[in-house]
A and B are shown apart, each in its own frame.
Chain A
């Protein structure tokens, strides 16, 4: 776990990691490098072991066999798949930010502002919408100044327009901070544009590579079908906007981000 791979750009490495839960083989022979500064996206159908992979990398689930290496003193920011707060627990957003670390209120506010939710600092955490909660959790992860962000289905429970913005935000954070991002997702069409490498997972690694390579892979087509390819193709034609300094979308002349979004959601 603590052994440092010789390549310093590698943040984490798995060698032949297999995870068995009861009689079920959840992950089989996973060989994967997580590199500094890249956006690595894990996609796969339901039950493919995506969350298990992220939890294994985090050290929450011990591998049954195989080795897991992690760069020494690696700082990780983790965004769990779902966090629902019981309303009976009175917790403000600001308090939630500092559950396991000590930070000044100013630092907390800066992190919340980076994800666009600075105004929620003193709000009750259980009243947040799905999108707000994800942004708060993202800010929470950023507060640890991570080398690597691990995001498990970061847009779950977020409405469609919010999804788009959240992915843009994640991309902007990566550009600004240069941290590595490992993201698990099942809606690939929005993810792929800014992704450096895609891992197609179905209990084992089916294929791995740049989005363009993976989408041409026969296994990918079998897993996700032509519909996904069509969505991906649409995405590849939507580079019609830029980011301003805050990471917000700054549309260019003649762009129609919304129209494209709608056509994807309809497909």
Chain B
């Protein structure tokens, strides 16, 4: 009943949402929304570098976003400007730099809008390999570092005093964000990636009492958003990436308006 491209879109969307959900929980818990945004905004520069070096842009994206993340952690030690301001400076500078560099590559006819807002309907078989390979990698590694990452999310000094190698764990976590950005870029675009990480996690929060349940809930909410967004995209011809994000927002709103007797109270 659907065309092939639509099946590929659904599969890519599901894979991305499943990888993004649990990782997004940690981004919400660690208050790193802006950090993730800044990393993803640098992805366009990664695309440009990938094209220039004639490698798959996915590698360029992972390289540039990771370097930026390391640079940010380094900058946060220099406290004469707050971390928030650094993020603001780098987020938009990285995005602008990516746009400028791409515009200078005049020989290239690249669909910049597709990178900015996603083009899930143009997903090919090779993209599916990336989504599922990357997704399985992200979830496996996240599972391995789950306990120490949770401990340092609760209190970093306490975790370190109790023997957690916090710096190493934080670095692995940033690498995982870089991978998710690289694979989600085709789905919702670099401007909207953070929403795919954060909205499903925030949607799940009210219904759960454990971190693991929240991760599963975020996966579910993300997958549902993909279905709803793609359905809207197909039936009323809306842009797919923004439709998925808006579907997520609708789920978030419903989740928080829904009367919830035995769940978490809303007064915080």
Question: Contact residues of A with B, CB < 8 Å?
Answer: 55, 58-60, 76, 78, 80, 83, 85-92, 95-96, 99-101, 124, 126, 144
Contacts and interface: CB of A to CB of B under 8 A. Distances in A.
B154 A87 contact: no
A90 B147 contact: no
B125 interface: no
Given A76-B161, A83-B154, A88 B210 contact: no
Nearest to A140: B158
By secondary structure, the A interface counts as: loop
Q: Which of A87, A92, A126 lies at the interface centre, i.e. has the most chain B CB atoms within 10 A of its CB?
A: A87
B213 A78 contact: no
**Interface magnitude class on chain B:** 20 to 34
By secondary structure, the B interface counts as: helix
Nearest to A83: B155
A100 B161 CA distance: 10
A89 B29 CA distance: 6
A90 B158 contact: no
Contact of A87 (B155, B158, B163, B268): B268
B268 A95 contact: no
A90 B205 contact: yes
Interface in B202-220: 202, 205, 208-211, 213-214
A80 B157 contact: yes
A90 B151 contact: no
Contacts of A80: 155, 157-158, 161
Nearest to A137: B158
Contact of B159 (A76, A89, A99): A99
A144 B163 CA distance: 12
B213 A90 contact: yes
Interface in B119-152: 147-148, 150-151
